[in-house]
């Protein structure tokens, strides 16, 4: 008759492990927080290739609209270049915020631009950004190595 109590103990252990794994999964996978509405910022992006002595400078305008961040990137040296896209936050995990990128409009007269590599990366992976505090300054560090001083100037 002792085997029944051992069997009940095993079932109790199984139920406990199932409940613990459910709560652990719920804690690790948190839903994405909606970005603040009405936030707007301007930054300048630079791509540099030391071997070929090339550089590309772009102006970026970002704003939050309907739970997404819309970006418009232009080239101050070539008014034919326009890149518009949408960043949607999909997850937050361990302090990192994960985003997906959807291009909306892309126009350029040139081929082989360095920014094309960044756009290709953004379209094919869900990338992360993480806020970091250094003293009283807040920085945002990106998966591609980008570092932004936050908040962006208005």
**Does any domain span residue 84?**
yes
pLDDT at site 85: 92
Rounded Cα distance, 39 and 17, in Å: 44
Rounded Cα distance, 38 and 60, in Å: 16
142 band by pLDDT with thresholds 50, 70 and 90: confident
**Does any domain span residue 17?**
no
Instruction: Give the tens place of pLDDT for each residue, 20-76.
Output: 555 555 444 444 455 556 678 888 888 888 898 999 999 989 888 888 889 999 999
**Does any domain span residue 15?**
no
CA geometry: angle at 69 spanning 68 and 73, to 5°?
145
**Does any domain span residue 133?**
no
Global pTM reads 0.65
**Does any domain span residue 154?**
no
How many domains are there within the chain?
Answer: 1
Buried b (16+ CB within 10 A) or exposed e, 54-81: eebebeeebbbeeebbbbebbbeeeeeb
pLDDT at site 12: 55
């Amino acid at each position: 008759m002792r085997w029944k109590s051992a069997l009940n103990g095993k079932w109790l252990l199984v139920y406990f492990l199932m409940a613990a794994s459910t709560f652990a999964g719920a804690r690790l996978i948190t839903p994405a927080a909606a970005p603040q509405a009405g936030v707007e910022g301007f930054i300048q992006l630079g791509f540099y290739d030391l071997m070929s002595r090339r550089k590309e400078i772009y102006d970026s305008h970002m704003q939050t609209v309907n739970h997404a961040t819309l970006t418009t990137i232009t080239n101050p040296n070539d008014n034919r270049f326009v890149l518009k896209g949408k960043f949607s936050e999909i997850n937050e995990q361990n302090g990192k915020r994960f985003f997906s990128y959807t291009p909306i409009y892309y126009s350029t007269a040139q081929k082989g631009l360095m920014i094309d590599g960044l756009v290709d990366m953004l379209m094919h992976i869900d990338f992360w950004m993480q806020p970091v505090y250094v003293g009283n300054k807040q920085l945002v560090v990106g998966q591609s190595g980008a570092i932004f001083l936050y908040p962006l100037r208005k």
